[in-house]
């Protein structure tokens, strides 16, 4: 444990701030959400296609935020953040995805409900 001997403003994570990255991150996410919004309003495609489209747009927005806002990459300063994120995303997907799957299965077997009245969810 050492006392700070250097100017904290020279730290790589301070230096990595960049106006163009933040502005383009803002624009990218904004455009993608706007596009998803328009797709939603048109309501034309069937549900699966619609869900896949806006899920794709959301994913693009998340990736752009990771790269442009958070500035994640594999440089020395950021590598551990990138690695830990890559390890955590599957857990996020597993806990939500497997839950949806098992309740889907449960509902089909235990809830006596005509299929037409069911609210569509991501897996339908």
Partner 1 sequence: MSTQAAPGAAPRLFHPHFAGHDQISARTLGFWLYMLSDALIFAAVFAAYAVLNNRMGAAGGPIAPQVTNPLEGLWQTYAVLGSVATYSLGTVALKSGNKAGVMLGIILAIALALVFLGFEAHDLLGLMARGDGVTRSGYLSAFIILIATHGLHMVFGIIWMLVMLVQIPTLGFSANVVARLLNLRMFWQFQATIWVVIYVYVYMIGAF
Partner 2 sequence: MQVAVPGPWSPLFGRLTLAAIPYDNPILVATFAGVAVVGLVVVAAVLYYKKLGYLWREWLTTVDHKKIGVMYVILGLVMLLRGFADALMIRTQQAMAIGPNSPGVLGAQHGYLPPFHFDQVYSAHGTAMILFAATPILTGLTNIVVPLQIGARDMAFPYMNALSLWLTVAGAALVMISLFVGDFSAAGWVGLIPLTELPYSPGVGVDYWMWAIQISSIGTTLNAINMIVTIIKMRAPGMGWFRLPVFTWTTLSTNIIGLTAFPVLGVALALLGADRYLGAHFYTAGNGGNLMLYTNLFWIWGHPEVYFLVLPAFGIMSEIIPTFSEKPLFGYTTMVAATFAIAGISWAVWLHHFFTMAAGPDVNGFFSIATMLVGIPTGVKVFNWMFTLYRGRLTFATPMLWCLYGLFLLLAGGITGMMLAIPAINYTVHNSVFVIAHFHCMVLLVVTAIFAAVAYWFPKVFGFALNETLGRGFFWTFSTATTITFLAMFALGFEGETRRLDYIYDPAWRPMLWTEEFGIALYCVSLVYFVLMLYVSLRDRVPAAADPWHSARTLEFLTPSPVPFYNFAVTPEVNARDELAWRRQHGLEHARPEAFEPIHMPSNSGLSFITGMCALAMGFGLIWRIWWLAGAGLLGIVLVVIIRSFDKNLGYEIQPAEVAAMEEDLSLGGIIAEQPKRAPLTEAEAH
Annotate 59-82 with b (16+ C-beta within 10 A) or e (fewer). Answer: ebbeebbbebeebbeeeeebeeee
81 contact choice in partner 2, partner 1, none (CB below 5 to 8 Å, kind-dependent): partner 1
35 contact choice in partner 1, partner 2, none (CB below 5 to 8 Å, kind-dependent): none
Rounded CA-CA distance 68/23 in Å is 9
Confirm if 39 and 50 have CB atoms less than 8 A apart.
Answer: yes
User: Does residue 74 touch partner 1 according to CB under 8 A?
Assistant: no
Q: Name the H helices within the chain.
A: 12-15, 19-42, 47-64, 79-110
Contact residues toward partner 2 (CB under 8 A) are 1-5, 80, 87-88, 90-91, 94-95, 98-99, 101-103, 105-106, 108-110
Contact residues toward partner 1 (CB under 8 A) are 1-2, 4, 8-9, 11, 13-15, 17-19, 22-23, 25-26, 29-30, 33-34, 36-37, 40-41, 43, 47, 50-51, 54-55, 57-58, 61-62, 65-66, 69-70, 77, 80-81, 84-85, 88, 91-92, 95-96, 99-100, 103, 107, 111, 113, 117-122
């Amino acid at each position: 444990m050492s006392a700070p001997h250097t100017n904290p403003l020279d730290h790589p994570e301070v230096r990595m701030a960049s106006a163009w990255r933040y502005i383009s991150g803002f624009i990218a996410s904004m455009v993608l959400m706007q596009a998803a919004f328009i797709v939603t309003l048109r309501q034309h495609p069937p549900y699966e296609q619609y869900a896949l489209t806006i899920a794709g747009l959301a994913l693009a927005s998340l990736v752009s935020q990771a790269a442009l806002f958070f500035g994640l990459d594999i440089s020395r300063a950021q590598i551990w953040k990138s690695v830990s994120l890559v390890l955590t995303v599957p857990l996020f997907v597993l806990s939500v995805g497997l839950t949806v799957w098992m309740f889907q299965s449960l509902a089909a077997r235990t809830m006596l409900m005509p299929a037409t009245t069911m609210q569509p969810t991501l897996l339908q």
